[in-house]
Amino acid sequence: METPMNIAEPGGHTLKRYDKDMLKLQKRVLTMGDMVHQQLSRLQQASEAVTEDTIQEIADAEDAIDRQEIKVDRYIVKMLARRSPVGSDLRFIVVSSRIASDLEGLGDETAQMAKTLLDENWRLFDCENISALGEVAGMLMLLAELFDQAMKTFEDYDYKTAKEIADGSASAEGELEIRMNHLVERCRASKGDVSNAVSLALIMRSMQRGLRQVQNISKHVIYLLTATDIRHQ
């Protein structure tokens, strides 16, 4: 992988209006990230007592995230039409669009997990004396922590942390993978209800997709800083 270049942060252009456009785009993406963070945190806090109200709150948050993605996309279209960006400026715009797409996907997965956790039988599901619900709550906390780190790499142009997350070497990432695998193995060995096993599979699939979207955010930052696209490596 290439050494990260000294990319200019938004604010170094001859045209001050261009600086404002870039900063405004970054702020819109970061705002979208804050919305996803709040959605994840709400689910993590309520995971052991998910109610219909919780589901509605998270669904409303998902709708708001979708609307914010549209705002980001529209602003990008205007920037492309006005500025005809090239080089690192163009990469910044492309990366902003890609991150917004992954944020929208993570919002969808969070909403899906909330719907699954609402099931009463699932809330009582134990796997060989391990509370599946308690484990999921812990995983959500780790996912939220990793997500915050990934978004911070976009805000701070942090190549080192972005690379750690993209490579799967971040501490929270490793612990999350271990806990997911451990829970699946324990539940597979237990004689639980088939519907609970299906619920577990759905939650783990959403968790894995969420983790992949967090990793993608860091990969996008690496592309921004190095001009090397590692999404499929």
Question: What pLDDT is recorded for position 200?
Answer: 79
151 in any annotated domain: yes
Residue 202 lies in a domain: yes
Burial (CB count <10 Å: 0-12, 13-18, 19+), residue 82: exposed
Pairwise CA distance, residues 105 & 212, whole Å: 10
CA angle 121, 125, 126 (to 5 degrees): 165
Torsion of CA 96, 30, 28, 208, to 10 degrees: 60
Total count of domains within the chain: 1
Question: Are residues 131 and 179 in contact, defined by beta-carbon separation less than 8 angstroms?
Answer: no
pLDDT at 182: 79
What local confidence, expressed as pLDDT, does residue 148 receive?
Answer: 96
For residue 21, being part of any structural domain is answered with yes
pTM tops 0.75, yes or no? yes
Select from 212, 178, 201 the least CA-distant residue to 116.
201
Q: What pLDDT does residue 8 have? A: 46
What separation in angstroms does the CA of 232 have from each of 1, 124, 173, 220? 13, 39, 19, 12
Inside any domain, residue 5: no
What pLDDT shows up at residue 1?
A: 44
Q: Which two tokens stand for residue 184?
A: 């699946």
Q: Which residues contact 96 (CB under 8 A, 6 or more apart)?
A: 25, 26, 29, 72, 76
Range of the domain at 84: 16-226
What's the token pair of residue 210? 């969420």
Give Cα separations from 125 to 27, 54, 199 (angstroms): 42, 20, 10
For residue 232, tell me if it sits in a domain: no
| pLDDT tens figures, 173-216 | 778 888 888 777 777 666 655 666 777 788 888 998 999 999 99
Q: What is the pLDDT of residue 48?
A: 67
CATH number where 222 lies: 1.20.58.220
Q: What residues of the chain score a pLDDT lower than 70?
A: 1-18, 48, 119-130, 169-170, 188-196
Tokens for 36? 């996803």
- Does residue 1 lie within any of the structural domains? no
User: So what's the pLDDT on residue 214?
Assistant: 95
If 0-12 CB within 10 Å is exposed, 13-18 middle and 19+ buried, where does residue 56 land?
Answer: exposed
pLDDT at 204: 86
Is 88 domain-assigned?
A: yes
Domain-embedded: residue 125:
yes
